[in-house]
Amino acid sequence: MNNIDTKKILLIISGGISAYKSLEVIRLLKKSGATVKTILTKSAKEFVTPLSIASLSQEKVYDDLFNAENEAEMDHISLSRWSDLILVAPATANTISKLSVGSSDDLASTVILASNKEVFLVPAMNVRMWSHASTKENLQKLKNFGYQIIGPEIGDMACGEYGQGKMTEPKEIVSNIEQYFFNLEKNKKFKALVTAGPTHEYIDPVRYISNKSSGKQGYEIAKSLKKNGFETTLISGPTSLEPISGINQVNVNSAREMFNAVLDCLPTDVAIFSAAVGDFKIKNKQKHKIKKKEILNLNLEKNIDILGHISKHNSLRPKMVIGFAAETNNLNEYAKKKLSEKNCDWIIANDISNPSIGFESNYNKVSIFYKNAKYEKLPKMKKSLLADNIVKKIISHLN
Ligand code: CTP
């Protein structure tokens, strides 16, 4: 497999004894045809020399944020935009700590903070440093930011101790990167649609019925699908979220508009219905603003069930249909009922009675109910990380 022959890799080497292995990483990447530009941190220069890296990579080596010559040739933002992927190998405990707080006091950390690309970290450190609670906490934060982690391995260390903390072997690192680009390429053939956010069901021109959905989870899923190569359409109810670049986004107000947008987007391979669609709409929406009265009775009628309609439709149904169930009680029972009644492949259920997860929060805690009667409970995590986990499962299901 060689999916990196046209790729541009930005390698960041931080200062650890395993930095010497990064020379082999450069050699293997170059051998596969990739272009490799390298940034050395100040302490990395104590372990490997810019000259050896420049000779191997045949590219300029960057090391100083405030270097007029470098900034004129390729500034730190252009350097991060230039790359297809950023690889930090080795990622020392100090680098991990700096990245976890968004530090930007040197070229390496600034480029990563400014990056819009996938970042792979290859940790390498002493076993005690690796198992320290602060490293664990920092790493969890980085995983939540969406960084990918390779290793570390268990074995004899340069310091003479034994345990987990060894940098993964160069061959293995390059194979992880190849796999990443391979998946991107393979997933390009898949089309995905995501519904997200609330709907607004108008009573008159200025008033509507809605709910507390922020749309965050659906947007994160769309972002992750796109990141993994899917051709993605996001059909969004009104939210305050920024549009995601590279995604076809259709903004709608009402459930009916959302339904029509879904129909326009079909056929797709996978459809994820995360929107909190209003169950009811106003039967006689008023053309003019309703004036104040003693009593106002609203005449409501049921909205179309978008997920149910699409999922039970013989010809419209995507290969894979995923619904959500936001519940305040009897989560398992209601989720299983929705799974079968709406003919879904999966239902992702969350308990919205807990304000620290669900609707407006950046965190979520869900259980996934599968068609084969199995279900799995996932721990509380950032919505972005949950999205990555869900998309990983979608990819293995589709393949
Ligand atoms: N859904 C939909 N169209 C609707 C209502 C819901 O597509 N008119 C989808 C949601 O996007 C979600 C799933 O159906 O994926 C379940 O939504 P939820 O609001 O939890 O359930 P309801 O079917 O509305 O049932 P209830 O309100 O009784 O829990």
Q: Are residues 161 and 207 in the same domain?
A: no
Q: Are residues 90 and 199 in the same domain?
A: no
Q: Are residues 391 and 280 in the same domain?
A: yes
Q: Are residues 222 and 316 in the same domain?
A: yes
Q: Residue 371: its pLDDT value, please? A: 93
Mean pLDDT of 325-353: 94
- The answer to whether position 364 is within a domain reads yes
Q: Residue 398: its pLDDT value, please? A: 93
> Into how many domains does the chain fold?
2
Q: Are residues 192 and 308 in the same domain?
A: yes
Mean pLDDT of 167-181: 95
Q: Are residues 314 and 199 in the same domain?
A: yes
Give the rounded percent of residues in the chain with a pLDDT score beyond 90.
82
Output the pTM of the full model: 0.83
Q: Are residues 358 and 321 in the same domain?
A: yes
Residue 344 a catalytic site member:
no
Q: Are residues 335 and 289 in the same domain?
A: yes
Question: What's CA 229's distance to the chain center, in Å?
Answer: 12
Catalytic annotation, pick one of 154, 159, 290, 304: 159
pLDDT beyond 60 at 69? yes
- The answer to whether position 283 is within a domain reads yes
The domain in which residue 221 lies consists of 188-398
Q: What is the band of 71 on the pLDDT scale with cuts at 50, 70, 90?
A: confident
Q: What is the band of 1 on the pLDDT scale with cuts at 50, 70, 90?
A: low
Query: Given 185, 203, 234, which residue is the final one in a domain?
Result: 185
- The answer to whether position 304 is within a domain reads yes
Ligand 1 mean position to 277 CA, how many Å? Answer: 6
The DSSP bridge pattern shows strands 201-204 and 61-62 to be unpaired
Mean pLDDT of 246-269: 97
What residues does ligand 1 touch, defined as CB less than 6 Å away? 195, 255, 273, 275-277, 279, 303, 305-307, 323-326, 338
Mean pLDDT of 4-21: 95
Distance CA 61, CA 67 (A): 12
pLDDT beyond 90 at 258? yes
- The answer to whether position 251 is within a domain reads yes
Minimum CA distance residue for ligand 1 atom 4: 305
Query: Given 151, 185, 219, which residue is the final one in a domain?
Result: 185
Which residue did the predictor score with more confidence, 160 or 255? Answer: 255
- The answer to whether position 172 is within a domain reads yes
Minimum CA distance residue for ligand 1 atom 16: 325
Ligand 1 mean position to 187 CA, how many Å? Answer: 28
Query: Given 185, 219, 245, which residue is the final one in a domain?
Result: 185
Q: What is the CATH number of the domain that holds 304?
A: 3.40.50.10300
- The answer to whether position 2 is within a domain reads no
Lowest mean pLDDT among 133-137, 301-305, 327-331, 365-369: 327-331
Q: What is the band of 293 on the pLDDT scale with cuts at 50, 70, 90?
A: confident
Q: Are residues 143 and 201 in the same domain?
A: no
Q: Are residues 95 and 201 in the same domain?
A: no
